[in-house]
Amino acid sequence: MQHLNQPDEQTLSQSLHDGDYLAFEAIYDLYKKPLSARLLKLLKSPEQVAETIQELFLKLWENRSNINPEKPIKGYLYRIAENLVYDFFRKAATDSRLKTTLLRYTDSAYNNIEKVLYEQESRELLYRIIDQLPPQRKRVFILCKLEEKSYREISETLGISTAAVNDHITKANAFLKKYLAAHPNLAIPLIVGFILQSI
């Protein structure tokens, strides 16, 4: 994508703010492709991406008078995108098809989501989830994932085999994936945040 320099983008934003449809089309042409690429990572459906893009730019046009031309239009667009994606996955709580989509994404991107989950600001959420694990599995998980002990160290500490340690970690990870997919209100900020951070 060829970026416009700052004055040009400000001019486009100002023109859009003033109701210039040609400026709207220029912004659409500039950002449709990168937005679609990011949305596809989240939604996993070209049809849903197309629908979301249509709704996104409709909202942009309808709210054009609220745009601050002095701020980058890109940030405004991605905030709309984030809200639309959040709404999409929030519906997963009552829609089995959307829940399947969320589960598939959570599974494929779990390693990345896991990194966010282990960050200090997410620890409260993590502990709330792993509190539901069986006591021994929770101990193994904390030693491995949070205290960064090796399987051998955990084996010696708890008096279990390394194979048992591996089994506990595998099952704990599977539980986390399913739990996040089944609780969109918890999973969505992690998933959406991770993808949009890389924009």
Query: Is 67:123 a contact under the CB 8 Å cutoff?
Result: no
| pLDDT above 50 for 68 | yes
Q: How far apart are CA 13 and CA 7, in angstroms?
A: 10
Residue-level pLDDT at 4 = 41
Half-sphere exposure for 96 (CA within 13 Å, toward CB): 0
| Angle between helical axes of 110-118 and 123-130 (0-180°, round to 10) | 110
Do 65 and 29 lie in one domain? The reply is yes
| pLDDT above 60 for 168 | yes
Q: What is the pLDDT of residues 24-33, one digit of tens each?
A: 999 999 999 9
| Angle between helical axes of 46-62 and 73-90 (0-180°, round to 10) | 130
Do 128 and 166 lie in one domain? The reply is yes
Q: How far apart are CA 174 and CA 108, in angstroms?
A: 12
**36 within some domain:** yes
Q: Give the pTM.
A: 0.52
**1 within some domain:** no
Q: What is the CATH number of the domain that holds 44?
A: 1.10.1740.10
Residue that has been written with the tokens 């999973």 in this structure:
187
Rounded to the nearest integer, the mean pLDDT of the chain is: 80
Q: What is the pLDDT of residues 112-147, one digit of tens each?
A: 566 666 666 567 778 888 999 999 999 999 999 888
Query: Is 66:51 a contact under the CB 8 Å cutoff?
Result: no
pLDDT classification of 7: cutoffs 50, 70, 90:
very low
Q: What is the pLDDT of residues 32-57, one digit of tens each?
A: 999 998 888 777 778 888 999 999 99
- What is residue 3's DSSP assignment? P
Do 133 and 49 lie in one domain? The reply is no
Q: How far apart are CA 190 and CA 40, in angstroms?
A: 17
Domain hosting residue 63, numbered range: 6-93
Q: What are the CA-CA distances from residue 142 to residues 115, 123, 159, 168 (Å)?
A: 14, 11, 16, 11
Count of domains for the chain: 2
pLDDT classification of 199: cutoffs 50, 70, 90:
very low
**Surface-to-core class of residue 45, CB atoms within 10 Å of its CB (0-12 exposed, 13-18 middle, 19+ buried):** middle
**Surface-to-core class of residue 116, CB atoms within 10 Å of its CB (0-12 exposed, 13-18 middle, 19+ buried):** middle
Do 103 and 188 lie in one domain? The reply is yes
